[in-house]
Structure 1
Amino acid sequence: MIKRNEWFLKALPILSYLSFVICVFAITRQFPFVKISGLISISLVLIFVFSIIPIWKKISRSKKGIKVLFLINVVSLMLLFMYSVFIQHNSAGLAIRFLIILVLLLVVFFMPRKKFFLDSFIVLAVLHSLFLIGFEIYIVLLADANFATHIRNLVIELGVGDIYTYNGFYYRIQIKGNPILPIAFLISLFSIKTKRLKIIIPLILFGGTMIAGNFAFMLAIIFFFIVYSAIYYRKRIISTFSSLFKQRKRFYIVVSTLVVFLALIGFQTFKYVEETIVRKSEYSLPARFDQVEVLMDNLSESPQTLLLGQGVGNVLSKKTPYRDYTNNIYFELQTFYVLNQVGILYFLLYILTNIVFILFFWRNKITYVLYLSYLVYALTNPYIFDSTHILVILVLNSLEKYLTNEVLVGGKEI
């Protein structure tokens, strides 16, 4: 009997790892295997089910304030669930779905931190990136003129994204699974130590991110490098400029070179940004403002709904010139949809809890900047309060431990 229990306890982490791989694989392979999406929710829940023992131990060993805050959230969510189903008469199935997501986004901080989650996430992201790169090469160099149109119609028909071009040379392959690429690229800069792989893997992931063609992805990457440089290279940058000021000739040469370089790069960048903003201003940005207006109007239906929300799993029955929102459960601004469901009171508590958990469970500045970078592109797209969001926190948890161990071994602060 004892041996059976030992075998069972050893099998649980393996099953959790397997569930993680299935979940990430299913997220990234929804094209062309549409039906595989059914595995996402099941495998996501199983990750936590098979880790229930270490999760419970970590919760029980946490500080009293953390335990109380977690318990308040769980009780609040259960009350909101009953309010949604029995008072607001929302679908019990949808209410359960969003209840699980909101609970797991808190429970994930108590998950065991394993290097396996980190490594397998990067490997699966690389496979997805290679798929995009290979597909891009095939469309541009090998396929006939009708293939791009055919494949775009197929992707739209399957509901897994879009593939399009503005110049016939660069195709934006915007399909499900792409949201893991930017954060995987940034994480790979710190999680890989083998010299060759440290260069090759980030390049592959960056290539896939570029082909994904989401402007928010690039903004997130730029945001990361600006903030990271400001934190870790501030003194070096200041000292470099200080020394240049003392040597006027070298200063003028460097500044002149820098101005010319920025002018050349800046012109192309400005042109790209301008074109992107113009395109987005035609539909994308107005559509997002429309979503905010529709969701907030629905939330403000009465003082009760404003404070308590329309209920977990609430769906709208609204049609505007931009979109038919009837029964939609995904919005580009998903945060406002969650606010619509839970109301102002609990939404503020939930955000506060997440901030407290982040500050308590994470201590490394790199982890903070990486998560903020993820939020830069997730907040304006439907990549937050979903399975991808949960997996990103799980992976960052593991990275936090990896970076902490590196500090302890290396004897210096990262």
Structure 2
Amino acid sequence: MKRLQSLSYVFVNFILTRMVPLSVLSPLMNLLTLIMLGSGLINKRHSGSKITIFAINVTFLTIALLFSIGFERNQPVNAIRSYLLLVIVLFAYFITVSRTALKWFVYFNVFQACAILIASLSMTYLFNLETYLPVRFFVQGREWGDVYTYNGYFFIIQIKGNALLLFTLMIMISPFGRQFYFKYYKLMVVLLFAGVFVAGNFAYLIVLFLYLLLWYIRKLPVRLNIKLVGLLLLLLISAYPIVRYVGNTVEAKKSSLGTRGDQLQVLSRDLNENVFTLLLGKGLGNTVSVVTKMRDYTDQVYYELQAFYMLNQLGFIMFSLYIMSHVLLAYLNFRGSLWIIIIYLGYIVYASTNPYILDTNQFIVIITLNSLVSLPLLEKEKSLRKLVGKENEK
């Protein structure tokens, strides 16, 4: 079964990082995700406490599903979609894949970093502030994301497939990144670093800065050498003046934050209809019929603040139970590695402000981290794991 899970994991990651231009393959990705879920359910080698936590959640989520369809009269298709999404993400803690599958995960994300880096450089060479607009409208029209520039010299490529670039980078520069023995390890790290920068997500840069700061403070036993650190710093310094970039980014984020604030207000008003809806939610698959100055939310099921949308559906009681279950399962799976927990928290921080949480991205993140801490050690790695363990005891 693990072979089937690993194979499905590889293809899901391929589609996830190739959503541009292969978004048409999304149904296949969903099918492969269900296959991973099914094969994981057949595996009986799960601890009793983890099964109990999962079973309790499935029971309450099933009640929430019936409540949504029968009492709140939400669309069954939307309700079932939300139900399956919540169940699948939670079940990811029970799935592990092979070392080879994890290597393909890294390869796909490095390729994505290369793709957006080439796209950014090509647009810098071919376009200016006025002539690039048809390309931007084309990308937006296909719902692939956005491409834009503040000055005509540096183009930001924010497209589907970028969600796990920072997550992959954090793994690669952690002690666990050395487990893969990549021949061009340093080059791959530099490419991922450049990809995170070109992706232009301000939350990425904040989390990356904090992660590197923590890495430096902790002084990991397996650290990047001075040349690599110098190369990463040179990449930052040689880029278009950082101060101006950050200033422009903050300015541009005002509209983005406005969108998120608008969503927060719409979902909060809907949730706060009365005490009953505040505690029990508006039901799985709930949609709001609201039109604001910024957007028409009628029948909308996709929000940048995806976690808050789930709170709107589940209410504070069920949502708190669901989040606590994630915390407990993460603790049971990752308690042996401080850096796996740090990487997961880093992902949660940047994903919470983007539509990258409680979806296929988080499903893949959990499986990846679960597999990293579960890998059988090669002889060369035993000393590494001992060092990591000693570091965690400090």
Question: In structure 2, how many angstroms separate the alpha carbons of the residues matched to 1:131 and 1:391?
Answer: 21
The answer to whether the 8 A contact 1:22-1:39 is kept is no
Q: Pick from 38, 41, 59: which aligns with 1:49?
A: 38
Q: Would you say 1:364 and 2:337 are equivalent positions? A: yes
Equivalent position of 1:198 in the other structure: 185
- Which sections of structure 1, spanning at least 5 residues, go unmatched? 1-11, 235-260
- Look up the equivalent residue of 1:127 and give its one-letter code: F
- Look up the equivalent residue of 1:46 and give its one-letter code: I
Q: Would you say 1:347 and 2:319 are equivalent positions? A: yes
Q: Pick from 289, 300, 303: which aligns with 1:331?
A: 303
The answer to whether the 8 A contact 2:304-2:354 is kept is yes
- 1:303-354 per-residue CA deviation (whole Å, 9 max, x = no partner) reads 2211111111111111111211112122111111000000000111111111
Q: Pick from 199, 213, 225: which aligns with 1:212?
A: 199
- Look up the equivalent residue of 2:114 and give its one-letter code: L
The answer to whether the 8 A contact 2:288-2:299 is kept is yes
**Deviation, structure 1 residue 231:** 3.5
**Deviation, structure 1 residue 211:** 1.4
Matches within 5 A, 1:35-184: 35-54=24-43, 56-58=44-46, 62-64=47-49, 66-142=50-126, 148-184=132-168
- Look up the equivalent residue of 2:136 and give its one-letter code: R
The answer to whether the 8 A contact 1:299-1:340 is kept is yes
Secondary structure of 1:123's match? helix
Equivalent position of 2:368 in the other structure: 395
The answer to whether the 8 A contact 2:68-2:284 is kept is yes
Matches within 5 A, 1:9-28: 12-28=1-17
The answer to whether the 8 A contact 1:98-1:312 is kept is yes
**Deviation, structure 1 residue 144:** 8.6
Question: In structure 2, how many angstroms separate the alpha carbons of the residues matched to 1:380 and 1:404?
Answer: 36
**Deviation, structure 1 residue 224:** 1.2
Which structure: larger Rg? 1
The answer to whether the 8 A contact 1:74-1:103 is kept is yes
TM-score with structure 1 setting the length: 0.82
- Look up the equivalent residue of 2:284 and give its one-letter code: V
**Deviation, structure 1 residue 403:** 9.4
Question: In structure 1, how many angstroms separate the alpha carbons of the residues matched to 2:42 and 2:131?
Answer: 51
- Look up the equivalent residue of 1:100 and give its one-letter code: L
The answer to whether the 8 A contact 1:34-1:158 is kept is no
**Deviation, structure 1 residue 141:** 2.4
- Look up the equivalent residue of 1:202 and give its one-letter code: V
Secondary structure of 2:158's match? strand
- 1:367-387 per-residue CA deviation (whole Å, 9 max, x = no partner) reads 011011111210101100111
Question: In structure 2, how many angstroms separate the alpha carbons of the residues matched to 1:104 and 1:110?
Answer: 10
Equivalent position of 1:318 in the other structure: 290
Matches within 5 A, 1:145-294: 148-189=132-173, 190-192=176-178, 194=181, 196-232=183-219, 268-281=241-254, 283-294=255-266
Secondary structure of 2:53's match? helix
Q: Would you say 1:373 and 2:346 are equivalent positions? A: yes
CA gap of 1:402–1:198, structure 2 versus 1, over 3 A, is: farther
RMSD: 2.6
Secondary structure of 1:102's match? helix
Question: In structure 2, how many angstroms separate the alpha carbons of the residues matched to 1:317 and 1:364?
Answer: 45
Secondary structure of 1:162's match? strand
- Which sections of structure 2, spanning at least 5 residues, go unmatched? 222-233
The answer to whether the 8 A contact 1:20-1:117 is kept is yes
Question: In structure 2, how many angstroms separate the alpha carbons of the residues matched to 1:105 and 1:42?
Answer: 14
Question: In structure 2, how many angstroms separate the alpha carbons of the residues matched to 1:341 and 1:378?
Answer: 19
The answer to whether the 8 A contact 2:128-2:153 is kept is no
Which structure has more helix as a fraction of its residues? Answer: 1
**Deviation, structure 1 residue 38:** 2.5
The answer to whether the 8 A contact 1:228-1:369 is kept is no
CA gap of 1:88–1:165, structure 2 versus 1, over 3 A, is: same
